[in-house]
Amino acid sequence: MARGFGVAAGLDPQVARPLAASCEQLGYASIWSNDHPGAKGLETLSQFAVDTKGIELGVAVIAVDRQSPSEIAGDIERLGLDPARLWLGVGAGFFKRPLTVMREALPQLREALPGVRLVLAAMGPKMCAFAGSSWDGAFFNWMTPEHAAGSRHHVEEGAREAGRDAPPVFGYVRTAVGPDAADRLAKDEGFYRELHDGYRNHFARLDAPAGTVGVAAADGAAAQSALAGYTALDTVVVRGLASATLEGMGEVATACAPPAQ
């Protein structure tokens, strides 16, 4: 099980650059940004790249209802990002019929983004199977360890029916560490529970108590123990719930660093 670290897009460059360098030194395999209407994840990735060499760069996820394949390709070129280092996560956003939308988007993305590994945001069984059959990876979000295991099964089933090896499975695990950890997790989770019908339906399927989908740990040892339970993920992406400062994010990154091999 590899480990990545994730932040919200728009992180101050004076925080993003040293944070990425620190994550690389701590042994993280990848560092990720989300993407939202107020800031582009690829912009944040360009800051991660400044003072790092080998750590892989991921954005999860860009919604295709906001950015076209040609716009994404233009941003990658403009920012000078190395396609070989990229994991590009994409999702349907607020489009209706998301599975149909993503089936139509895939060949356009392949054509516009040669050499970039494409990862599908997958929550429901059909989307997970599609990720397994046709994409370079699946990206889970807001899942318990148990639900992630079931979703991984759908990815593997899709790959098997397509006659290919299953692609890697990534997933954000919202993680807060310290005395206010439970409050931070509950606040972030509460926002997503009511964001739109897709998330409302997803959390209903989870049937997990509010404020429990992720990791709220008193200290690093407790965080490590909880993260170790996400065995269904090939890469656990620790989504740091902390102040957007080097100190705040750095504390979570250090507490949740990959165990020494």
Tell whether the model's pLDDT for residue 261 goes beyond 80: no
pLDDT cut 70: percent of the chain above it: 100
Mean pLDDT of 46-72: 97
> What predicted TM-score, i.e. pTM, was given to this entire model?
0.97
Q: Which residues touch 134 (CB under 8 Å, ≥6 apart)?
A: 106, 158, 162
The pLDDT of residue 119 is 98
Q: What is the pLDDT of residues 75-96, one digit of tens each?
A: 999 999 999 999 999 999 988 8
157: phi > 0 → left, psi -120 to 50 → alpha, else beta; which? alpha
Residue with tokens 């709220």: 216
Model confidence band, residue 125 (pLDDT cutoffs 50, 70, 90) = very high
Do the Cβ atoms of 133 and 158 come closer than 8 Å? yes
Mean pLDDT of 240-257: 98
Tell whether the model's pLDDT for residue 244 goes beyond 80: yes
Mean pLDDT of 182-206: 93
How high is the mean pLDDT of the chain?
97
Do the Cβ atoms of 144 and 206 come closer than 8 Å? yes
Do the Cβ atoms of 176 and 252 come closer than 8 Å? yes
For 53, the 3-state DSSP assignment is coil
Q: Which residues touch 136 (CB under 8 Å, ≥6 apart)?
A: 87, 117, 118, 119, 167, 168
Mean pLDDT of 220-237: 98
| Helix residue ranges, H only, the chain | 13-26, 41-48, 69-79, 98-112, 125-134, 145-162, 181-193, 197-206, 220-227, 246-255
The pLDDT of residue 95 is 86
In the chain, the domains with their CATH numbers are 2-255 (3.20.20.30)
Picking from 164, 150, 103, 163, the residue whose alpha carbon sits closest to that of residue 130 is: 103
